[in-house]
């Protein structure tokens, strides 16, 4: 599967990736704990979490980051799965009930002989417009004009 | 690994190497991961491909099997490089080492680098995870 954002030659700096919204639930968090084997009580034990400075359970940062990865694979297909990088900061925890909006924007395109390097800024924010994740991604795509 | 066998984070120093962790992602574990993150991408339907974030999640979970992190530990940053694709039933081995251990007042910053290889000893993923940990008051 190739890129779904468009042909490589159609990509331009400043182009937005498809935005997505996710509602975080405790059920999602519990499923993720099982799937990832990360049972830190701050994510799954409401009684424990209430007694911490966070005041309640929070989603795993890697769960929210998975949504960023999904946005990237939706945009760039299999190219995202190998030869790509991400670098993010977890700024504010995501909590059950939060609506997380995942956005991305192509910040730079470097075309060279036989390949193209695409850089994106990524952002996840909650319903209060607080940044949950900020960061950058990059990926290498074979071809530099009309192929992808 | 029992809590008693885990390394206390306060004992960790830069360059400490964790024991390698070996794991395999089979159909059911990949399906559970896709369900948990609500990923319905056709990339993973009827293919043998494993989502790269699932590999990262397992590598980080393997770390937590070796280290006793106190409650209140916060994951503050994550770098990942997806080097090559991973297929279902590939056997992965994760190597991790402490790249930074620093105290800042009542908090500690812990950064761990990890590299994941497949059964052909080919690198598939590299990462750098940073945590902020509060002063230790007992295991998590």
Q: Which residues of A touch B44 (CB under 8 A)?
A: none
What pLDDT is recorded for position B140? 40
Task: Tell me how far apart the alpha carbons of residues B116 and B96 are, in angstroms, rounded to a whole number.
Answer: 9
Tokens of B1: 């690994």
Tokens of B54: 């699932």
| For residues A67-72, average pLDDT | 98
pLDDT band at A147 (very low <50, low <70, confident <90, very high): very low
With a cut of 50, say whether residue A148 has pLDDT above it.
Answer: no
**From A74, which residue of chain B is nearest by alpha-carbon distance?**
B41
Average pLDDT for chain A: 91
Contact B83 A35 (CB under 8 A): no
Distances (CA, A) of A73 to A5, A77, B70, B123, B133: 10, 5, 34, 20, 32
- B36/A34 touch (CB, cutoff 8 Å), yes or no: yes
Mean pLDDT of A38-56: 90
ipTM of this complex: 0.91
Region A44-66 average pLDDT: 94
**Are the C-beta atoms of residues B118 and B91 closer than 8 Å to each other?**
yes
What are the tens digits of pLDDT across the range A80-94? 999 999 999 999 999
In this structure, the number of other CB atoms found within 10 A of the CB of residue B91 comes to 12
CA-based nearest residue to A97, from A37, A35, A46, A34: A46
Q: Å from B86 to nearest chain A CA?
A: 9
Pick B56's closest partner by Cβ from A22, A37, A62: A62
Closest-approach residue (CA) in chain A for B63: A38
pLDDT by 10s per residue, chain B, length 140: 555 567 777 778 889 999 999 988 899 999 999 999 999 999 998 889 999 999 999 999 888 777 877 777 888 999 999 999 999 999 999 999 999 998 878 888 999 999 999 999 999 999 999 998 877 654 44
For position A75, what pLDDT does the model report?
94
- For domain B13-134, which CATH number applies: 3.10.129.10, 2.40.30.10, 3.40.50.2300, 3.40.960.10? 3.10.129.10
Global pTM reads 0.91
Sequence-distant (6+) residues with CB within 8 A of B140 are A40, A41, B68, B69, B70, B71, B73
- Residues in chain A within 8 Å Cβ distance of B81: 84-85
Set out the domains of chain A in order of their start, with CATH numbers.
Answer: 8-23+60-142 (3.10.129.10)
Strands (E), chain B: 7-8, 21-24, 67-68, 74-82, 91-104, 107-117, 123-134
CB B38 within 8 A of CB A59: no
Q: A17 CA to chain B: closest CA distance, Å?
A: 16
Task: Answer yes or no: is pLDDT of A146 > 60.
Answer: no
């Amino acid at each position: 599967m190739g890129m779904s954002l468009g042909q490589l030659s159609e990509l331009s700096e400043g182009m937005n990736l498809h935005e997505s919204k996710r509602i975080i639930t405790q059920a999602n968090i519990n499923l993720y704990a099982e799937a990832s084997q990360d049972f830190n009580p701050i994510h799954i034990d409401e009684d424990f979490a209430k007694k911490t400075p966070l005041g309640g359970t929070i989603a795993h940062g890697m769960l929210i980051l998975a949504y960023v990865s999904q946005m990237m694979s939706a945009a760039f297909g299999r190219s995202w799965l190998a030869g790509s990088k991400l670098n993010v900061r977890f700024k504010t925890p995501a909590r059950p009930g939060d609506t997380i909006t995942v956005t991305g924007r192509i910040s730079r395109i470097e075309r060279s002989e036989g390949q193209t390097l695409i850089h994106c800024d990524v952002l996840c924010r909650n319903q209060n417009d607080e940044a949950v994740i900020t960061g950058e991604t990059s990926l290498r795509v074979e071809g530099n004009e009309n192929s992808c | 690994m029992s809590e008693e066998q885990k390394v206390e984070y306060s004992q960790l120093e830069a360059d400490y190497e964790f024991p390698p962790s070996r794991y395999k992602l089979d159909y059911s574990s990949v399906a559970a991961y896709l369900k948990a993150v609500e990923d319905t991408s056709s990339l993973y339907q009827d293919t043998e491909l494993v989502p790269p974030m699932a590999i990262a999640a397992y590598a980080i979970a393997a770390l937590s099997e070796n280290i006793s992190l106190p409650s209140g530990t916060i994951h503050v940053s994550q770098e990942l490089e997806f080097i090559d694709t991973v297929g279902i039933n590939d056997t992965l081995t994760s190597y991790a080492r402490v790249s930074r251990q620093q105290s800042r007042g009542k908090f500690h910053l812990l950064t761990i680098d990890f590299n994941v290889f497949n059964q052909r000893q080919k690198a598939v993923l590299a990462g750098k995870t940073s945590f902020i940990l509060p002063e230790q008051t007992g295991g998590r």
